[in-house]
Chain A
């Protein structure tokens, strides 16, 4: 993947602009959030049958000095491409941008994407549109992201910014020097669990997976850890048997890791364990008791009328209400007990 590539940072040559409003020429670091990539891939799947590539707009945030661009979301923009001309649905792009900004006021236009690695005249044309003044990203450089989705090949992602190269004034509109910039795919903490679930479906035949319950997730995590421990111990054993080359660094690392195991008095462990397990079980018990109490009280309040005829219904409901009250109080007494429990812990 390209994040292991190295890049030459070139200061972009300044285009023919008025003095005082010079665009930034500093190199840009691009951060892509996974959902943006996912939606590009989704768009690529939904292209018209005769389309080679599809394009869309990238939205995200820019750090204050403009050196880091974070791509957070994207939307597709229709376009048609023939051998000698390209047409992008500008009206659509404008409306969609307005709609999107309504829901995400913090995000700004940062660039555009295409689903093929090819850079051609049309790319330059579109790039100049996106980086232009007015509707574009001016004075910041527009980021161009290419995600190749060719069947049978790896998905290759590249990020570029552009510099105007004007051969002549007439050709300036459809030429641009694309400069590759480094990018990374960054996951937030919150996305981890989502990605985990998505990854679980990757090996399944029908490409789908169910959502785990807590205990299943725990099981998977433990299995994974066991697998890792196995791998490490196999390695250590083969080093001891002199089958694999030894490494001081590795040994040191493993030793450091082992040293992380805490050393505590058995009595302390026993005590802490007992305290905590009691807490946990008591809360679980109480939660269920509260649930039962409430259900009972509500049932009594509503279901009492079935006993006896219309005449006794009134007093029945009355009784139910009172009992419900008792249920509520009972629940509260219990929670007081529980608070005591917590205070003790």
Chain B
């Protein structure tokens, strides 16, 4: 950690890691898959060169927030058993010359629903316990299935780290630190990097044999079964062009509705807190007034005064609910909104294209 002063600015992912994460994520879909990534930190660019999945272990709900992990895999990265597993694996990898430095962890997500306590706690654990310069790679399985690969790298911002460490999420603290939901994560640009061998291999995959000019096929079936009919894997994914709108929107609406529900609960909690606080405050004021008049009476009667700060013992102010959940929820909604936006951008384009194609005269209007 000699060059600690250089902040992490980008993430470079090896093709191997991309494939491994995709494989692991899609294998265990729709449950969350998590694993560890190893690599090297080169002048602020985190090079991720290998990865391995975590075993799914049953773990007791030891999270220091009351919601227990619904899925053991999601909590796996910070489980104790896995720390051992990870150390063991890294030691083994070092023996075969793999960059044996733990640089973070990955998780799979479904439609961008990765902003939750688990991710936060995992990343917090990594940045605090293991190594400050770690990232969380999020691979969105359902979005990748739709066409374009969705792989993103996140870190917790230093501001959020301090707040989370002290669990300061009351209105007053947030007020002071000016922490907003946009400040939870810092996203790092992700770049995919191929080794020389893989570059050569990919080139080879792409063009099987194209030396001699090909003969024309003799029949329709020959054409369809010929070597060129096989779709090339490396071409852009034509699933992109498909006009399926409703499933995506439906799923997003569901997710948004869930978020609204959460938001509603949070607001209700907060309101409840406000009400009980106000009630307690009113009681205290009443008590203080009573004490004051009593003291005034005692003063006139020349009796010793009663202490006026006894209310601190008699009344207990309600605990303010943590604002963290609503912050996360806002961040999650922002994520959904962005996702819908980008989907809408490409979909409207496609729809106008289809319309223009099917109704040629109309476009001139």
Contact = CB atoms under 8 A, between A and B. Distances in A.
Interface string A219-259: 01111110000000000000000000101011011001000
B16 to A, nearest CB: 4
A4 interface: yes
A270 interface: yes
A217 B242 CA distance: 13
Q: How large is the interface on B (under 10, 10 to 19, 20 to 34, 35 or more residues)?
A: 35 or more
A214 B151 CA distance: 12
B100 to A, nearest CB: 11
B351 A276 contact: yes
Interface string B243-258: 0011001101100110
B344 A201 contact: no
Interface string B193-228: 111111111111110110000001111101110010
Nearest to A319: B274
Interface stretch (B261-269, B291-299, B307-315): B261-269
Interface of A: 1, 4, 33-35, 37-39, 41-48, 54, 72-73, 75-78, 89, 92, 95-96, 99, 102-104, 149, 154-155, 185, 187-202, 207-218, 220-225, 245, 247, 249-250, 252-253, 256, 262, 264, 266, 269-270, 273, 276-277, 279-281, 283-284, 286-288, 290-291, 294-295, 297-298, 301-303, 305-306, 314, 317-318, 321-322, 324-325, 327-329, 331-332, 335, 338-339, 342, 345
A188 B216 CA distance: 31
B62 interface: no
Given A193-B147, A215-B345, A104 B241 contact: no
Contact of A297 (B257, B263, B277): B263
B95 A298 contact: no
Contacts of B148: 193, 196-197, 211-214, 216-217
Contact of B256 (A211, A273, A290, A295): A290
Given A4-B209, A314-B278, A335-B260, A190 B141 contact: yes
Nearest to B88: A99
A41 B264 contact: no
B197 A217 contact: no
Given A198-B202, A298-B323, A222 B194 contact: no
Query: Helix, strand, loop or mixed for chain B's interface?
Result: helix
Contacts of B25: 190
Q: Which 9 A-B pairs have the closest CB atoms?
A: A217-B148, A190-B26, A35-B19, A199-B234, A76-B96, A247-B216, A46-B97, A284-B344, A193-B149
Interface stretch (B63-71, B115-123, B125-133, B167-175): B167-175
B220 A252 contact: yes
Contact of B217 (A43, A247, A291, A301): A247
B341 interface: yes
Contacts of B327: 298
A103 B52 contact: yes
A270 B192 contact: no
Contacts of B346: 214-215, 218
Contact of B323 (A43, A269, A302): A302
Nearest to B97: A46
A187 B233 contact: yes
Contacts of A102: 55, 85
B22 A211 contact: no
Nearest to A200: B192
Contacts of B189: 210
Contacts of B32: none
Interface stretch (B1-9, B158-166, B332-340): B332-340
Contact of B92 (A92, A197, A209, A247): A92
Nearest to B265: A328
A286 B252 CA distance: 11
B109 to A, nearest CB: 14
A305 B92 contact: no
Nearest to B351: A277
A99 B92 contact: yes
12 contacts: A38-B198, A72-B23, A103-B53, A155-B197, A191-B26, A193-B147, A202-B199, A207-B194, A212-B149, A221-B238, A277-B348, A279-B246
Contacts of A44: 197
Given A92-B92, A287-B337, A295 B181 contact: yes
The residue in B171, B189, B271 that gathers the most chain A C-beta atoms within 10 A of its C-beta is B171
Contacts of A306: 175
B236 interface: yes
A37 B20 CA distance: 11
A139 to B, nearest CB: 27
A41 B12 CA distance: 18
Given A253-B223, A327-B267, 13 more contacts: A191-B22, A197-B192, A202-B194, A208-B192, A210-B190, A215-B345, A217-B237, A249-B216, A283-B249, A291-B330, A328-B264, A329-B264, A335-B257
A243 B147 CA distance: 39
B252 A283 contact: yes
